[in-house]
Structure 1
Amino acid sequence: MPRLEATLDRMREYGIRGSAVTYGTIVKAYGRAGNIDRVLQAWEEMQAEGLEANAVTYGCMLDACVKCGHLEKALHIFAIMKQRGLHRNTILYATLIKGFAKSKDPLAAKNLYREMRSERVPCNVVVFNSLIDACVRACDLQGAGEVLQEMTATNVRPDLITFSTLIKGYCSNGELSKAMRLQEELQARQLECDEIVYNSLLEGCVKAGDLQLGLRMFSEMRQKHVRPSAVTFSILVKVGESMGSR
């Protein structure tokens, strides 16, 4: 972050005092870079300056901590926001749920979802996708399916990411038939499979030993003009090796 560092040095050189917004921007930038040490340093400097964070600045700090994998600090910031009545925000809850998804903690993610409902905070597709991701990462596919049911029951429309995450989970777990049914539902909803979905299905075919279906999936992928990637071809090599060994 040389440009940011240079700008901060110039501000100090001229004795320019940053605002809460300035520090929020700094925290956000270091969060994107994954530099938790700088994130915490900027936050401490802001507090040392006697500046009071607003809702946006708190949001930047919470997001930065989650991006850096520092959930403990993120939850601490969220607790402060609760004390000040600044927490009833869909994006904040979605950010924390994403953090719990990355740490493979679906129980904590679901608890936050329940808290959202009790606080009457609107839930959107990002929240539900993050909940599904948390379940899939923890190999809780039954829980992921229950989240999908809850999602449709609350009239939130599943998107490609919803189906992609579930399909990958089922394929990784060797449940190819369930993944294929989801692909059919995806297409019935007028959504188009992308390279990630096809790669997951191809991997599922290899895992299940259904190589003919794998080849049909690749043929469909080409017919739909979905561009294969290096990952796609690496999976096809596995298909070829499996067929050659028969």
Structure 2
Amino acid sequence: MYVEALGLFDKLMCYPYLKPDSYTYPSVLKACGGLCRVVLGQMVHTCLIKTGLMVDIVVRSSLVSRYAKCNSFEYAIQLFDEMPDKDVACWNTVISCYYQSRKFEEALRYFGMMRRYGFEPDSVTITTAISSCARLFDSERGREIHKELIKSGFWMDSFVSSALVDMYRKCGHLEMAIEIFEQMPKKSVVSWNSMITGYGFKGDCFSCVQLFKRMYNEGVKPTLTTLSSILMACSRSVQLLEGKFVHGYIIRNRIQPDIFINNSLMDLYFKCGKVESVENIFKLIPKTTPVSWNVMISGYVTEGKLFEALNLFSEIRQSSVEPDAITFASVLAACSQLAALEKGREIHNLIVERNLGNNEVVMGALLEMYAKCGVVALELFAKMLLSNVKPDRVTFLAILPTCSHAGLVDDGLYHFNEMINVHGIAARVEHYSCLTTLLGRAGRLHEAYEIL
């Protein structure tokens, strides 16, 4: 009850013969942090300096925590570094500051310092340290922390166990994650989600659905993350029945799906050829970001509904949503397949207007569109290199057919060698196929046969 606590503090300050003490200020600072009252927190800080209460370790620790909760991480760390005495809560605050600032190496460095100074880490410290290892995909350090916990007989609560499951899963050690998960007496929703996501990345939607059923039977309510992870797994493995099962659960339980669930459902139904189902979902969902539009446009292109993709691109331009790089790349793919040069040039102008000329994905799609339309795109390729945009395999898959259409055999061979020797890109079957076509059209059959 932060508001009430601060209200009482205001009343206390009105009494001339009563003064707040070292028991008052930690609660006041906690309330300031809870409400993110930055100005009031700074005023309290000033009072503490004037009254000399900054020497109290609990007060100072509370002040560090207050700055951290108001996202003033630099002040929190500065105060911490100036403290002559520190407690575990204070160490936890500063380690969490670095973690929340995505400075995971620093979080682990302070974790190491804490132990060297003789402080015993608690569940909060361990959880943050393991989570930092997970973010860095550093299974070695994570495994070392785990071994030390076992050796010291540290009681691993649901937070620590969930962090370990997530760390091993993110680092690709799914078997180890399963072992810890199955040993947990009480499994948190975070640990269930970690396991489902782990199986999801493998495309094992059957295991995801089994875990989902177990989760439900054990009385753990699935979150939106749970549902979107399962749907993504169903989409990856193109399993319509399992996806429909989850979709049915969402409808029956009147769950309001978020953007991730909606997009996963659309992607699943597109991959299973259920275009009408996708269109029904798209009609009902809010379209405030380009993500859902992109799923629809790329899905239409994949299904060969190229005019529908172009029409949808016209719709997004008339809406309040700004198309992004993926939107342009997807609609350019439609232009490529239709050999719609004029439409492609129109989209090219829009790309220039939006300063997306340096985007690798967009430039690759543009090159491919011009190549498919039979227009020489070497000038655009040269501009791409001058812009310091590194070409990839797709870029050269667009350049080689362009040289073939224009009869520029030597240029094609030059760019093929450049791809391998300058950019270090390994040639694939598709590149060799383009090269043999280029040589064949030029009548250089002997060289083409050699490559074959």
Task: Name the TM tier (shorter chain).
Answer: 0.7 to 0.9
Distance 1:223 1:145 in 2: 33
Change in Cα spacing, 1:12 to 1:91, as seen in structure 2 (3 Å) is: closer
Report SS of the residue matched to 1:213.
helix
Q: Which residue of 2 aligns with 1:162?
A: 261
CA drift at 1:65:
1.9
Question: Which moves more between the two structures, 43-52 or 130-139?
Answer: 43-52
Q: Which residue of 1 aligns with 2:209?
A: 110
CA RMSD of aligned residues (A): 2.2
Q: Aligned residue pairs: how many?
A: 238
Aligned counterpart in structure 1 of residue 177 of structure 2, from 49, 55, 74: 74
Change in Cα spacing, 1:129 to 1:13, as seen in structure 2 (3 Å) is: closer
Q: Which residue of 2 aligns with 1:213?
A: 308
Q: Which has the higher contact order (CA 8 A, sep 6+)?
A: 1
Q: Which residue of 1 aligns with 2:132?
A: 29
Change in Cα spacing, 1:12 to 1:117, as seen in structure 2 (3 Å) is: closer
Q: Which residue of 1 aligns with 2:327?
A: 232
> 5+ unaligned residues in a row in structure 1: which ranges?
none
Change in Cα spacing, 1:54 to 1:208, as seen in structure 2 (3 Å) is: closer
> 5+ unaligned residues in a row in structure 2: which ranges?
1-103, 341-372, 374-452
Change in Cα spacing, 1:78 to 1:104, as seen in structure 2 (3 Å) is: same
CA drift at 1:135:
1.0
Distance 2:191 2:111 in 1: 28
Native 8 Å contact 1:20 1:51 kept in 2: no
TM-score (norm 1): 0.86
Distance 1:20 1:46 in 2: 11
CA drift at 1:193:
5.5
Q: Which residue of 1 aligns with 2:148?
A: 45
Deviation string, structure 1 residues 73-125 (Cα, Å, up to 9, x no partner): 1111112213xxx22x3332222212211111111111111112221222232
Provide the identity percentage. 24
CA drift at 1:154:
2.4
Change in Cα spacing, 1:170 to 1:129, as seen in structure 2 (3 Å) is: same
Change in Cα spacing, 1:128 to 1:27, as seen in structure 2 (3 Å) is: same
Native 8 Å contact 1:124 1:156 kept in 2: no
Native 8 Å contact 2:234 2:240 kept in 1: yes
Structure 2 residue 230 is the aligned partner of structure 1 residue 131: yes
Deviation string, structure 1 residues 115-167 (Cα, Å, up to 9, x no partner): 12221222232222222122111111232122101221123222222110121
Which letter does structure 1 place at the counterpart of 2:304? G
Distance 1:18 1:129 in 2: 35
Change in Cα spacing, 1:13 to 1:31, as seen in structure 2 (3 Å) is: same
Native 8 Å contact 1:20 1:46 kept in 2: no
Distance 1:4 1:193 in 2: 36
Which letter does structure 1 place at the counterpart of 2:291? I
Native 8 Å contact 1:171 1:203 kept in 2: no
Report SS of the residue matched to 1:221.
helix
Q: Which residue of 2 aligns with 1:179?
A: 278
CA drift at 1:9:
4.2
Q: Which residue of 1 aligns with 2:287?
A: 192
Which letter does structure 1 place at the counterpart of 2:246? V
Aligned counterpart in structure 2 of residue 98 of structure 1, from 197, 201, 220: 197
Distance 2:131 2:299 in 1: 38
Which letter does structure 2 place at the counterpart of 1:222? R
Report SS of the residue matched to 2:263.
helix
Deviation string, structure 1 residues 54-84 (Cα, Å, up to 9, x no partner): 22111211222222232211111112213xx
Distance 1:119 1:12 in 2: 38
Native 8 Å contact 2:111 2:125 kept in 1: no
